[in-house]
Chains A and B, each alone.
Chain A
Amino acid sequence: GQQVMQIPQYQHVQEGEDFTTYCNSSTTLSNIQWYKQRPGGHPVFLIQLVKSGEVKKQKRLTFQFGEAKKNSSLHITATQTTDVGTYFCAGRGTGANNLFFGTGTRLTVIP
C-alpha cells in the first residue's frame, strides 16, 4: 500500500532558528498538500503543490515538490512560537480518490 513517511518525527528549535521537514512517498503522487495541526487542534490546510519541481512561498514558509513527484519539503525561516505544532504532508496517488497523510513532524519552538 501507499506509504508517506516524514522526517524528523520531532524537532526542537530555538526561536529564530530555521526548521525543515521532509516528506517521502513510496509511489508517485498526483499532488502534495501540507497541513498544520496546533496542539489539541485539528489539521488545517496550508498549501498544495501539483507540478514537478514546484516551489511555493507563504511568508516565512517555503514548500517544494520533488522532480519525481515522490518527495516534498517544508522549510520555515526564523521560527516563531506561533509555528509550534505538527506539520503533515498528504498525498494522493495518480488516479486515486483517497488522501494519505504522512507521519507528521512535531515542532517545538523554545523562546
Chain B
Amino acid sequence: NAGVTQTPKFQVLKTGQSMTLQCAQDMNHNSMYWYRQDPGMGLRLIYYSASEGTTDKGEVPNGYNVSRLNKREFSLRLESAAPSQTSVYFCASNVGGNTEAFFGQGTRLTVV
C-alpha cells in the first residue's frame, strides 16, 4: 500500500522561482494537510482541506496556495519562493475528525 505519496523528495529553487509540491493518498481519506518542519519549531500547519472542495488556512499560510484537486490529491504551490521557505514539507491525511494522521515521506526544499 502506497499510503501518502509526496513528490518531489528534494528540490532546490532560486529565489523568485515557483513550484508545486504534489501529494496523493490512496486511503480514501477526507482530510488532507500540509505542514512545514523547521528546527525547534515543530510541525506548523500551512493549509488543510477538511473535505474535497474545501481548503482553509493554518498557522503559516503566507506565501503559499493550495488546491484540493480531487479527494486523492492536495497540492501546495509556492508562487515566488523565498529563502525563508527553506524547510521540510510534509503532507498528511486522515479520515477526518479525531483520527490518526498518516504522513508522506516529506519534501526537502532549499531556496537559494
Contacts and interface: CB of A to CB of B under 8 A. Distances in A.
A98 B56 contact: yes
Contacts, number: 60
Interface stretch (A13-21, A42-50, A56-64): A42-50
Interface string A1-42: 100001001000000000000000000001101010000001
Interface residues of B, number: 27
A50 B99 CA distance: 11
Nearest to B31: A97
Given A31-B98, A97-B31, A42 B40 contact: no
B12 interface: no
Interface residues of A, number: 24
A80 interface: no
Interface of A: 1, 6, 9, 30-31, 33, 35, 42-45, 48, 50, 88, 90, 92, 97-104
